[in-house]
Structure formats: C-alpha cells, structure tokens
C-alpha cells in the first residue's frame, strides 16, 4: 500500500480533510452515474444495500473481475467510498485522472505499505468506507486473498461487508453494443461481520486464517464458476468471525 493519501503518489503528507473530499466526490458521482455507468455498463441487479452501515466506518471486501468493479460499487451506494488501488493506476492515460480526482488510496503491492495503512486508518477514523480487493489483482475466479484486509479490520475494528460481483467481464462497453444483449452486472452486498478481538495483535498465521475465513464468506455468495481457490465450501470455518 502506498504514498500520501488522496493526493498524487509523490506528494508530501497531508491531514485528511473529510469535508473537502466529500464535496468533490459529490460532483464526480454525478459524472460516474450519467457517463461512467449508465452509458458504459449494463447493471441488472443490486441487492443487499441495506447491509452497508448508514453511517460510520466500514470495509467493503470485493472480488475483482474487471477495471470497472470499484466504479460500479461506488455508483450503487448512497454513501461515498474510498477505494484502494495499485499505485500504477495513477499513471494510466486519461483514466488515471479519476483516482487522483476521487482520492483513491494508492497501494504498493510488492511490499507492506505503511503509508497506505495509515491513509486507510485516517479515512476510517473520519467515519468513511474503504473498498478493498483482497486478491490484489483482477481474475474471473477467486484467487488467494492477501492478509491486508484482515490486518486493517482487526486494527480498526471496522466491520467488513462482503460484496459479490458478477458479469463485469467485457465492460466498459457502449450502450447498444453486443455485450448489452447478454445478462448484465449483478452486485450483492452480504451481511456485515468483524473479526473477534484478540488479547494481542494477530500474527501472520492468524491473519492468514482470518483472511481465508473472510474469503470463504465471499465465495459462498458467488456462483461456483467464480469461487476459484475457495471453491470447496466444506473447508470453510468461522472461528475468527463475529457476525454483526
């Protein structure tokens, strides 16, 4: 995870200004709704939005299929959310402007990114929602989740809301194109949970177990073809999980 929050990756540290970012994001949400989703993504079904806390901090944990996944999730919720993304997205031509303008938290995936962790904690302390894709890369079926989601949730005690995404392969695509004649995107927000509190910070082995248990919850919300390494639900346990 990396660099100072909500600015360019090379910027000097700044205090997170919740009110300032909220006003900017309201304008961007209008553009995302009118242009980014309505014209470029066929959204068929959204269920379980009531599982997302109406106020206070939370972590959305998604499976990641396509570039548009976080944007669609942002579109479906009444609250603004702050996604985490690999630091390279800041350098994408044209579309790299959106993460900069929105204030996406850039993450260095090849290392433990302390700055990004601090940025996430700042956002959660401000009572906001962050979006995390534990797999760390896009894939049509689940890959092993990285321990960051467990670390962030256990450290902050913010609830996790699992978000299952289906049907985003091939998007964005202009309305009326061939893919729009097929079933569209489906988003499901599952019941929130958190990890049971421990007497001391979890070690690497405990974080691994916590992450896998959370990923199995997400897997159970997906069709079998998307469950990947978490396909065998008989191996799922919930020893570290506490439902809210």
Per-residue pLDDT of the chain (244 residues), as tens digits, is 333 333 334 443 567 888 889 889 988 988 888 888 889 999 999 999 999 999 999 999 999 999 999 999 999 999 999 999 988 887 777 777 888 899 999 998 767 788 999 999 999 999 999 999 999 899 999 999 999 999 999 999 999 999 999 999 999 999 999 999 999 999 999 999 999 999 899 999 999 999 999 999 999 999 999 999 999 999 999 999 999 9
> Bridge partners of 187?
46, 165
Helix axes 148-156, 114-125, angle to 10 degrees: 40
Instruction: Find the distance separating the first CA and the last CA of the chain, reported in whole Å.
Output: 28
Q: Would residue 228 count as lying in a domain?
A: yes
- Residue 12 within a domain: no
CATH assignment at residue 48: 3.40.1130
User: For the chain, how many structural domains are there in total?
Assistant: 1
Q: Of 29, 76, 108, 28, give the one whose Cα is nearest residue 186.
A: 76
In terms of residue numbers, what domain contains 62?
18-243
Q: How much is the pTM?
A: 0.90
Q: Does the CA dihedral 214-209-151-57 come out positive or negative? A: positive
Strand partners, 178: none
**Pair 244, 191: CB distance under 8 Å:** yes
Contacts of 217 (CB under 8 A, 6+ apart): 162, 190, 193, 236, 238, 241
Number of other CB atoms surrounding residue 31 within 10 Å: 12
Residues 6+ positions from 60 with CB-CB distance below 8 Å: 52, 73, 81, 129, 130, 131, 132, 160, 161, 163
C-alpha 153/C-alpha 241 separation (Å) is 11
Any domain includes 1: no
Would you give the DSSP letter of residue 191?
Answer: P
In a domain, 6, yes or no: no
Element containing residue 154 per DSSP (H, E): helix 148-156
3-state SS of 105-142? EEECCCCCCHHHHHHHHHHHHCCCEEEECCCCCCCCCC
Nearest-angstrom CA–CA distance, 144 and 211:
9
The answer as to whether 5 is a domain residue is: no
pLDDT for residue 14:
67
Q: What region, left, alpha or beta, does residue 16 occupy, with left being phi > 0 and alpha being psi -120 to 50 degrees? A: beta
């Amino acid at each position: 995870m990396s660099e100072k929050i909500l600015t360019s990756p090379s910027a000097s540290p700044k205090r997170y200004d919740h009110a300032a970012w909220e006003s900017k994001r309201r304008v961007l949400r209008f553009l995302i709704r009118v242009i980014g989703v309505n014209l470029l993504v066929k959204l068929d079904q959204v269920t379980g939005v009531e599982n997302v806390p109406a106020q206070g901090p939370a972590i959305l944990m998604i499976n990641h299929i396509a570039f548009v996944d976080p944007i669609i999730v942002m579109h479906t919720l009444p609250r603004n959310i702050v996604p985490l993304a690999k630091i390279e997205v800041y350098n994408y031509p044209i579309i790299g402007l959106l993460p900069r303008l929105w204030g996406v938290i850039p993450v260095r995936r090849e290392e433990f990114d302390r700055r990004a962790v601090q940025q996430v904690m700042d956002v959660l302390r401000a009572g906001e929602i962050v979006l995390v894709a534990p797999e760390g890369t896009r894939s049509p079926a689940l890959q092993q989740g990285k321990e960051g989601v467990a670390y962030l949730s256990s450290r902050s005690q913010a609830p996790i809301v699992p978000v299952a995404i289906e049907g985003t392969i091939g998007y964005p695509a202009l309305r009326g194109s061939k893919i729009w004649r097929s079933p569209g995107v489906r988003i499901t927000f599952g019941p929130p949970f958190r990890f049971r509190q421990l007497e001391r910070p979890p070690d690497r082995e405990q974080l691994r177990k916590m992450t896998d248990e959370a990923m199995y919850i997400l897997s159970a919300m997906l069709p079998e073809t998307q469950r990947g390494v978490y396909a065998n639900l008989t191996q799922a346990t919930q020893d570290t999980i506490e439902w809210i």
